[in-house]
Amino acid sequence: MKKVLLFGGTGHLGKKIAFELKRQGYQTTAVVRNQAKADELENVVDKCVIADVTQPVQLENVCEGFEIVVSSLGKSVSPNDKSKATFFEVDFTANSSILCEVLRSEVKKFVYVSAFNAEKYPQLEYFKTHHDFSEKLINSGLDYSIIKPPALFSSFIDLMAMAKKGRLINIGKGDRRTNPIYEGDLAKICVDSINQPNTVIEAGGKEVLSRRQISEIIQRIVAPNNKVRSVPIGLFKFALPLIKLFDKNLFDKFSFFVEVIQHDTIAPQIGEMRLEEYIKARV
């Protein structure tokens, strides 16, 4: 039985990866921040190790005895995430610390969840950190799999809460399209990629939807009596410099949102679950 060390296992995607590893018969240890996080993975993983991934000293020798490392570790783009760590500190620096430990151990494979089209937006911290670490992993000489989704279904949970309160908005026209993917579908892709040497997999869902269509699906299912309102994108662009003065993390998140809604971000259609099914299951 192959031994896997999982980072980011308590996130929406990480939990699905943990379930998929168990389903496929891997012996899995998850690195988590505290005991409460470990409790979330009880009966899913074989063991948990408590460590703060932003503190390299706490990761010393953590990879010893493992053949495979999987990292879905990354800072949330949700505005409701109030953690102080930056995208650079989590997505790049913490993953780099993990990679250093991997290279000092007998690990044979590193699976990393990046972001679709990350290389196209070097001016945005969210994409830059993903791309820079991907390049570091590729250049390490280690066998790698880099998985690049355009968005996860769980990224719309915040929109469900807004829809329930009648606060759901479209920024701009909402006509640009994307194909987010269900975490369970992406988890299978991640775990299957363990046996695919030196691979980059771009993976989206089966449906291609405009941003407006996504909002309308959420609103119709969550609170059909409320309406989706539109806000000019210029208003958000005007506000960005002001946000940057007070909260760099929030600035990076809103910069990300404002940029991606202006472009089609359509990855190969691999996932199976439809967004409507996912939203209905959570209402």
Q: How far apart are CA 142 and CA 138, in angstroms?
A: 7
Please tell me what DSSP assigns to residue 120: G
Give backbone dihedrals phi and psi of 56, rounded to 5 degrees, phi first.
-55, -35
In-domain check, residue 257? no
In-domain check, residue 256? no
Are 132 and 74 contacting, i.e. CB atoms less than 8 angstroms apart? no
What sign does the dihedral 178-180-185-189 (CA atoms) show?
positive
* Tally of domains within the chain: 1
Q: Residue 86's pLDDT is what?
A: 95
Give backbone dihedrals phi and psi of 170, rounded to 5 degrees, phi first.
-100, 135
In-domain check, residue 195? yes
In-domain check, residue 188? yes
Residue 65: give the domain boundaries.
3-152+181-202
In-domain check, residue 167? no
Question: Which domain CATH number covers 19?
Answer: 3.40.50.720
Tens digit of each residue's pLDDT, the chain (283 residues): 799 999 999 999 999 999 999 999 999 999 999 999 999 999 999 999 999 999 999 999 999 999 999 999 999 999 888 888 999 999 999 999 999 999 999 899 999 999 999 999 999 999 999 999 999 999 999 999 999 999 999 999 999 999 999 999 999 999 999 999 999 999 999 999 999 999 999 999 999 999 999 999 999 999 999 999 999 999 989 999 999 999 999 999 999 999 999 999 999 999 999 999 999 999 9
In-domain check, residue 113? yes
Are 4 and 66 contacting, i.e. CB atoms less than 8 angstroms apart? yes
- Three-state DSSP at 180 gives coil
In-domain check, residue 267? no
Q: Residue 80's pLDDT is what?
A: 87
In-domain check, residue 262? no
- The gap between the terminal CA atoms of the chain, to the nearest Å, is 38
Nearest CA-CA partner of 29 in 66, 72, 74, 59: 66
Are 143 and 198 contacting, i.e. CB atoms less than 8 angstroms apart? yes
Q: How far apart are CA 245 and CA 70, in angstroms?
A: 36
Q: How many CB atoms neighbour CB 221 within 10 A?
A: 17
Q: Residue 82's pLDDT is what?
A: 84
